[in-house]
Amino acid sequence: MSDNTHILLPVDLAKRFDLYGPVHKGIRRAQMHLLVRVGAHDFTDAAATENLLADLRRMLFLSAGHLAHEEQHIHDALAASGEAERLEEQHDGHEAAFAVLERLLNDIETAPATARIALGRQFYLEYSHFIGEDLLHMHEEETVAWPMLCARYSDADLMGIEQRIVGSIPPEKAMAFMALMMPALNPQERFGMLSGMKAGAPAEMFNAVMDTAVKPALAAAEFAALEQRLGLAA
């Protein structure tokens, strides 16, 4: 990682439209929850293990998709600085880790119950290592790459990048990312994201997001407070 990865985000940039922050919050939260689940899991329980493997594969799928979105829509904007090359090298490392993790998931899936315990331990250690690398990578994107983007481009330009990312994601996958982000955001961030969607998206689409992605992802009290703030409460 770069020596610059411990630069604190300037206050004016921290208050500005944020391309990386919300999705990274969702990824961090989901990764940590899954890591805790893997560490405490009984791998001799076949049904529970099947459910865990499905959730892990889903997270790896979303993580790989997130890397692709950044490479397709953000890295060109960083090309002149050389930062894009650094981030893509880190992405290459992530993709290699995904292959190792998927191979371990396959091994766990096909192993007898007694062998799954040791394989689960191995997966736990490999996933811990990947998450550590990913945390550093996301920190660099938010504290090094993001200030570079803010210095070069207007808010309108950056929002255009976000719109292209959102427009490239199939609806089902977009719902999955929304459900990933919502419980990780603070109330102000949730309101900012969803009030913008409420103002700009068709009502049918907005209602589908609220019912399918947002409501199931939040505690009842959190969702009620959000509805009240959005002016949706009866």
**Same domain (yes/no): 82, 191:** no
**Same domain (yes/no): 138, 156:** yes
Q: State the pLDDT at residue 233.
A: 74
Please give the Cα distance from 135 to 5 (Å, whole number): 11
Q: Which of 116, 143, 169 is the last residue of a domain?
A: 169
The alpha carbon torsion through 194, 131, 49, 62 (nearest 10 deg) reads 40
Residue 4 lies in a domain: no
**Same domain (yes/no): 23, 99:** yes
How confident is the chain (234 residues) per 10-residue block, as mean pLDDT?
A: 48 64 97 98 97 98 96 89 89 97 98 95 98 97 92 90 92 95 96 93 94 97 96 82
Residue 5 lies in a domain: no
**Same domain (yes/no): 155, 233:** no
Q: Domain of 68? A: 11-169
For position 94, which CATH number holds?
A: 1.20.120.520
Residue 1 lies in a domain: no
Q: Which of 169, 190, 207 is the last residue of a domain?
A: 169
**Same domain (yes/no): 117, 205:** no
**Same domain (yes/no): 156, 225:** no
**Same domain (yes/no): 142, 192:** no
Q: Which of 148, 169, 190 is the last residue of a domain?
A: 169
Residue 3 lies in a domain: no
Residue 6 lies in a domain: no
Tokens of 131: 């998450």
Domains contained in the chain, number: 2
